[in-house]
Each structure stands twice: as structure tokens, then as C-alpha cells.
Amino acid sequence: MAQLPIMSTDQPIFAFTNVHYRLAKPEAVQFAKPTSIFALSSPLHTATAKELRGAKFSSTDKPSLLIDDFSSGWQDCHRLSADNPHHWQYWTRKINDPKWRGQEGYRLSFDVKFEKPNELIVVLIENFFRSYRGKKQDFVAVVGLTGGADVQSVKLTPADFKGMDNGEPLKSWQQVDLLGLRAYHKKRSGSGRIGSDQWAGSQPEFRNLRWKTNNDLTTSTSFRENGVTAHRGNSSEFPENTVSAFQSGINVGADWIELDILRTKDGKLVVIHDPTTKRVGDRNLVVAKSAYEELAKVDVATDFRRRSGKTIAECPPQKIPLLKDVLRLVMKQSRTRVSIQPKMNCVADAVALIKAMKAERWVGFNDGNLQYMAEVKRLAPKVTVFWDRGKDTNIDEDIRIANKHGFEALVLHYEGVTPKKVKKIKAAGIEIGAWTVNDRATMKRLLEVGVERLYTDDPRLLLSLKSKTSH
């Protein structure tokens, strides 16, 4: 017996099933290669909305951002000329289903790996077998593939798809019935072709076909979205949690910088990780027991200067910043946002400051403390939350809690990341991140298994690596 998920009881249900059987030996098929399987289809069953409600059914499913991770191959797609090196094409109707249909502001995203440079043609067909709704139209987007051993990430908006007949951009995802991936696409009438019928190398390997969304607060901005969080700023090149590190994180191109906050004896929110200044500074003060005037005299570049071998001329003294000063810095631009990690119970104070400065759309929060992150969502529901998790965390429970509170992302310790965990988190419509990664090999491994965000002390290195694989 199979389960039938129900998206809504306000619409009728049409259901049938295909059952596949494996043959003892391959059998000949006319005009095709021998097959090792055959399928039986059940009759079509229907139930009206009234019948569903009368039987007291309730919805058991919800929309998913993940369309297909291809972990089961092309099971949910149909393939044409699949074995032909040049004329292969893969198609899916899943994006017509309410579960996987794109909404306004979404971008179509997938990862692809292949041997040689090529042009991939992504095809969307409107009103396929639906002439009652409007004219059937083909829209294509041409994606330049660089080739090589690295995975390339592709993100497309409706405007990236142009009509084959008139060159007009696609207006929305709403009437798209069919998605195709292929080497070329011909016009339905007359001559004309987009792409080449001479594909170079083997067929590409696809992963993580999904919708990408923007936070509601940032849809009208030009914020970057490259999955690079500069941990405590660009802390590989500048002293951590200082204005110079944050400015460098913005300058090198990270889409988020991250910082830590504590509250001083006189109620100021300051940017520092440890409860004392001992590790980073030239004096040892307890932050919560010291006034800001005293803390501001500590040179928090001392440890960085010692580790890097830089002179004072090369690395001048730095003071602990106030959170409000870092927010002012970030609010001068609209490309990079700042994620705040509270190191004590000061969420309410931080949110109050953010609201007073009208800084909500520049800000997110991250931490592993569930109480703190839940308080963020209670006080500022539209502010992004990255919930930090350990390497041995219970992913199923984490997903349940994240969905309950509306957390946008789970950020795992990098040693605990596995392909299975990545798949589960993405299937739940939650962004998957990892902390804190500073070597190229680990960065590459995590990106290849589908991790969407990396926290790093070296954002320049990560951006350089991603630039080789991004579209």
C-alpha cells in the first residue's frame, strides 16, 4: 500500500500509480533498445474537494523548494535520445505541480558537472497540452558551461528565458508546464536553432534542481547571494571582529559578514567573541564587568599582530567596535549583510537597536542556542536566522525545530556534513551551511556535496574557488 500526500482539500485529487517490474532477462522492443523492466498502470481515481472534506481528510504535504536532487537518477523525468552523445534531452513536468511550482521572486537553480566547455540549453514550455489557457510557447536560456572537474552552480530568473518566436522574456513561472535540459533546441516552425548539435564530451551530471528564494525583506535590494559568510569579518587578513575586518569582508565580496556581541557593564552592545579581552587584546578585562570607555582602550589587534608577524605600522591598533557602529558601516551599502551571534542573553537589546536604526533588511542572526534564535523570530519574524548545529546533531529533530520556528538555515559543523544530511535539509526547503572552513580541499568537498553556505575566516579564498564553478 502506498501513501498519497494531500497538498490541499480545496482542490480535487486525480491519482493513479505506475508499478515497475524487473524482467528475468531483457526483452526486445520495437524501434528501441531491449528492456529489462515493464510497467503496469492503475486506473485513474478521482475525489472532489467536497468528498475529501466529507471524509474528514486534511492536507499532509506542503510546497517544496527542492524539485529533484537526482539521487534516484532520472526517475522523475522522461529522456529522449538518452544514449545519443549530441541529441540527448531530459524533461520533467514536476514544475507544473503545485508542490514544485515556482513563485514570484524565485530563481531556478541547479548544479552541473561536465568535462568540456559547452552551451547548455534550458527550455521552458508554457501551455503544453493546455491551449485553452493560451498559446503554447517555448522559452530558452543559454548557459555557458566552463567544463572541468569542478561543479558549476547555475541560477536563472524568468527574464533569463527568451521566447523562441519573438525573443520576449518569460514573465513568470506560473504557466510553465515543462522543463527541459538539452544541448540544443529548434523552433517549432520554420528554421532556427539555439545551441549546437555537436556536444563536446560526455553528457553532464546534474544535481540539486531547486528554487532559490530571497528573504521578504530583501527582494527590493541588490544584496549579493553567493553563500560566503566572512567569519568575524575577513579575519584571515585583519584582526577579527574589527571595523577593518568587516570593511574588508564587504570589499572582497562576501554576501554576509558575521560578528559576535556581548553587553558591557554600562549596557553597550560591543563586538567581541570571548567573555574577556585576554585572547585578542593587550589587557585582560571581563567584558560584562567593564564599562565601554575602559574596554575601548584595549588594543584588540594585539593577538593578530603577534600571529601574523606584522608591525604596528602594518597593523595599527584596533578597538572593540560598538554594534551600532558596525550596523552604520553595513547600512552604507546594499551588497553585504551582517549576521549577529549573541554570546550572552542580549537578543532583545540587539533587536531593539536594529529596529531603532531601521536596519532589519541588513541583518540576520546565527547561534546554536535555541532560546536565543527563537527569541529573534518572536521579536523580528522576518529577520533571517542561521541555526548553528554541531557535528553529531540529530538532523531530523533539527529540521522539525527549524520548521516550527521558521529558521531559514541550518549551519552544521563541517566535520558532521554528509550527503544524506544535505539531502534531508534541502528536501525540507531549508538552506544548508557549514562552519568554519578555511582550507581549499574541505571547501571543495562541501560544495560538491551541495552545501550552499560556508563560514570562513578566508572569504577571498572561498570566493576565488566559487568563481571557477559559478555561472
Q: Write the DSSP assignment of 41-99 as a string of letters.
A: EPPPEEE-HHHHHHTT--------SEEE--TTTTTTSEEESTT-TTT-EEEE-GGGSTT
- Examine the pLDDT at 324 and tell me if it is beyond 80: yes
pLDDT of residue 190: 62
Percent of the chain with pLDDT over 90: 64
pLDDT winner (highest mean) among 18-27, 142-151, 302-311: 302-311
pLDDT of residue 215: 46
Quick one: 37 and 141 in the same domain?
A: no
Q: How many domains does the chain have?
A: 3
**How would residue 217 be classed by pLDDT, with cut points 50, 70 and 90?**
very low
Cα dist from 388 to 351, 359, 365, 398, 455, whole Å: 19, 23, 10, 10, 11
Range from 71-75, 408-412, 441-445 carrying the lowest mean pLDDT: 71-75
Condensed to tens digits (0 to 9), the pLDDT of residues 101-149 reads 998 889 999 988 888 888 999 999 999 888 888 889 999 999 888 777 7
Average pLDDT on 5-27 reads 87
Q: How many residues does the chain have?
A: 471
pLDDT of residue 218: 40
Quick one: 265 and 404 in the same domain?
A: yes
**How would residue 285 be classed by pLDDT, with cut points 50, 70 and 90?**
very high
Q: Report the candidate in 187, 163, 188 with the shortest Cα–Cα distance to residue 175.
A: 163
**How would residue 442 be classed by pLDDT, with cut points 50, 70 and 90?**
very high
Give me the phi and psi of 150, to 5 degrees please. -90, 155
Q: Which residues pair with 145 in a beta bridge?
A: 118
Quick one: 192 and 258 in the same domain?
A: no
Q: Report the candidate in 162, 163, 254, 173 with the shortest Cα–Cα distance to residue 211.
A: 173
Average pLDDT on 405-434 reads 94
Average pLDDT on 362-374 reads 97
pLDDT of residue 114: 81
- Here the cell at position 112 is 552541473
- Examine the pLDDT at 219 and tell me if it is beyond 60: no
Quick one: 369 and 404 in the same domain?
A: yes
pLDDT of residue 1: 66
Average pLDDT on 262-271 reads 98
- Examine the pLDDT at 449 and tell me if it is beyond 70: yes
Q: Which of 184, 213, 242 is the last residue of a domain?
A: 213
Q: Which of 61, 83, 103 is the last residue of a domain?
A: 61
pLDDT of residue 220: 40
Instruction: Give the mean pLDDT of the chain.
Output: 90
pLDDT of residue 436: 97
Q: Which residues pair with 211 in a beta bridge?
A: 108
Q: What is the CATH number of the domain that holds 225?
A: 3.20.20.190
Quick one: 24 and 69 in the same domain?
A: no
Quick one: 250 and 375 in the same domain?
A: yes
State the pairing for strand pair 228-231/453-456: parallel
- Here the cell at position 202 is 560526455
Condensed to tens digits (0 to 9), the pLDDT of residues 389-406 reads 999 999 999 999 999 999
Cα dist from 305 to 22, 275, 280, whole Å: 67, 21, 10
- Examine the pLDDT at 221 and tell me if it is beyond 50: no
Average pLDDT on 257-268 reads 98
pLDDT of residue 469: 60
**How would residue 461 be classed by pLDDT, with cut points 50, 70 and 90?**
very high
pLDDT of residue 311: 95
Quick one: 233 and 175 in the same domain?
A: no
Range from 33-37, 220-224, 293-297 carrying the lowest mean pLDDT: 220-224
Average pLDDT on 11-37 reads 87
Quick one: 204 and 263 in the same domain?
A: no
Quick one: 144 and 243 in the same domain?
A: no
Quick one: 266 and 383 in the same domain?
A: yes
Quick one: 192 and 97 in the same domain?
A: yes
Confirm if 240 and 246 have CB atoms less than 8 A apart.
no
Q: Which of 182, 213, 244 is the last residue of a domain?
A: 213
More confident residue, 258 or 113: 258
Quick one: 337 and 434 in the same domain?
A: yes
Confirm if 344 and 262 have CB atoms less than 8 A apart.
yes
- Here the cell at position 227 is 553563500
**Domain range spanning residue 425?**
218-467
pTM: 0.60
Average pLDDT on 61-89 reads 85
Average pLDDT on 70-93 reads 86
Give me the phi and psi of 12, to 5 degrees please. -70, 160
